[in-house]
Amino acid sequence: MNLKHIRAASLAALVASGVAVSTPAVAANDAMMELLKVLRDNGTISEEAYSLLKNSAQADAERTDAKIEETAEEKLAAVNKVSDKLKWAEKIKLKGDLRLRRQYEEADPENGEKESRERYRYRLRLGAEAQVVDDVKVGLGFASGGDDARSTNETLDDGFSTKDARLDYAFAEWTPAEWVSVVGGKFKRKPYLWAPTDLLWDGDINPEGVSVHLQTDNSFGTAYGNAGHWILEEFSSVSDDPTLTYAQVGHKFKSGNLFGNVAGTYYAFDGLEDAAVIGDRDGSNTLMGGNYVFDYDSIGLSAEVGVKDVFMPGKIFAVFGDYIKNDDSDEDTGRAIGFKFGDKKVKEQHTWQFKYINADLEADAFPDFLPDSDRLGGNTGVKSNEIVFKYAIAKNIILALDYYDSEQDVPGLDDDEEKLLQTDILFKF
């Protein structure tokens, strides 16, 4: 190779090197090959030099490709490793809410109450659900409050003291098919026992035991059945602990703008008669020697019928009610009837709903540790009127007013009266 050819080869190598370091590897190698062809064709470099440089460039390209592939595989492996570690997070869903409340209770001078009472309270709930396998999930939740099954409120008091938070629910749910689900542990009641009012069941109660839900679609809507066995108390001194076994059969339907839900429920309490009072309270059921007189086996009926797009587009109007009859007593019954108007769910901004309920629950119609605790302390033997208004001032931020006018109605007892106003702002997340 003469000097001219050496200079040309050096020039080609220099230019090719510059291209290689200034552009991506593949593009630089292609440009270098084109440049070598031009230099060979115009006689700047010989065929021998062209072959030498071409072979060298191809070898560099292969090494570069191999290195790129190796680096890509290493990075992909690293990403997959991180992804595998985070897969557990994909199975978990978190949700919760915070409620701030002003509660005002008007004094009843006839019963010696000289002062009205005002309290500021909060409720915090946080829950998580995890999908164990395709048809099994577990859930747990924590809530503010103490050991009262019917309250997760904490009152702002006691010199900025720290407040309690407790396990609110913990369950495992198996759904082997779309038409059946089974749950066990401490779980939310509503999916496994439907009731349109809180006449019998306070909204904070999460039962303990096992339940099953069945459903099937038909030409009229959806037929469903619920059943369960719930533990009410465990006494170390007796073998027959109080329990509740129930069965509910119902049907949901839709036809044009009309919708509804009708259900019948049988409650079989076992071990409640002659048992000690459940819960830390005086109670309003009939007692003898501090023990329950009745077992409270009872039959209940529940219904809701409504229509969409009535009075205002997009709104619903519905009437609903609950009825209960204690089989162990000749007279004791309970009933609640009401209506609601507005949006079906109050969640999106500017959605709202108005609701009214008139309730009358006689003293031994149902166990007194289960009904709504805001209706004269949750006692039975109570008549009440309730008015509720909810308005979403922003998505998941809800303002609510809940007013109760209740009175005790039990022969031989003082006619306690209570007017209760709760003003809430609720934040869901």
Give the model confidence (pLDDT) of 122-177 as tens digits: 999 999 999 999 999 999 999 999 999 999 999 999 999 999 999 999 999 999 99
**pLDDT range class, residue 295, cuts 50, 70, 90:** very high
CA distance 372 to 386: 11
Q: Are residues 97 and 62 in the same domain?
A: no
Last residue of a domain, one of 32, 61, 86: 86
User: Tell me: the pLDDT tens digits for 370-408?
Assistant: 999 999 989 999 999 999 999 999 999 999 999 999 998
User: 16 or 350: which carries more pLDDT confidence?
Assistant: 350
Average pLDDT over residues 91-118: 85
Q: Are residues 61 and 187 in the same domain?
A: no
Confidence at residue 244, expressed as pLDDT on a 0 to 100 scale: 98
* CATH classification of the domain holding 263: 2.40.160.10
pLDDT surpassing 50 at residue 203: yes
pLDDT surpassing 80 at residue 365: yes
Average pLDDT over residues 77-82: 73
pLDDT surpassing 70 at residue 26: no
Instruction: Tell me which amino acid residue 42 is.
Output: N
pLDDT surpassing 60 at residue 219: yes
Q: Are residues 296 and 161 in the same domain?
A: yes
Confidence at residue 279, expressed as pLDDT on a 0 to 100 scale: 80
Q: Are residues 175 and 244 in the same domain?
A: yes
pTM: 0.80
pLDDT surpassing 60 at residue 345: yes
pLDDT surpassing 80 at residue 412: no
pLDDT surpassing 70 at residue 23: no
Confidence at residue 374, expressed as pLDDT on a 0 to 100 scale: 95
Q: Print the SS3 string covering 104-166.
A: EEECCHHHCCCCCEEEEEEEEEEEEEEEEECCEEEEEEEEECCCCCCCCCEECCCCCCCCCEE
pLDDT surpassing 60 at residue 215: yes
Give the count of domains, the chain. Answer: 2
Helix (H, G, I), strand (E, B) or coil at 210: strand
Confidence at residue 22, expressed as pLDDT on a 0 to 100 scale: 39
Structure-token pair, residue 129 = 């659900």
Q: Are residues 58 and 122 in the same domain?
A: no
Last residue of a domain, one of 19, 51, 86: 86
pLDDT surpassing 50 at residue 21: no
Q: Are residues 61 and 208 in the same domain?
A: no
Q: Are residues 28 and 107 in the same domain?
A: no
Q: Are residues 65 and 127 in the same domain?
A: no
Q: Are residues 181 and 68 in the same domain?
A: no
User: 344 or 9: which carries more pLDDT confidence?
Assistant: 344
Least confident of 140-144, 146-150, 304-308, 419-423: 146-150
Last residue of a domain, one of 26, 58, 86: 86
Q: Are residues 53 and 143 in the same domain?
A: no
Contact predicate 121/148, CB 8 Å: no
Least confident of 112-116, 171-175, 198-202, 251-255: 112-116
pLDDT surpassing 70 at residue 27: no
User: 8 or 256: which carries more pLDDT confidence?
Assistant: 256
Domain that holds residue 67: 3-86
Contact predicate 99/402, CB 8 Å: no
Q: Are residues 202 and 295 in the same domain?
A: yes
User: 188 or 417: which carries more pLDDT confidence?
Assistant: 188
pLDDT surpassing 60 at residue 13: no
Confidence at residue 36, expressed as pLDDT on a 0 to 100 scale: 66
Confidence at residue 9, expressed as pLDDT on a 0 to 100 scale: 45
Q: Are residues 150 and 186 in the same domain?
A: yes
pLDDT surpassing 80 at residue 419: yes
Confidence at residue 63, expressed as pLDDT on a 0 to 100 scale: 72
Average pLDDT, rounded, for the chain:
87
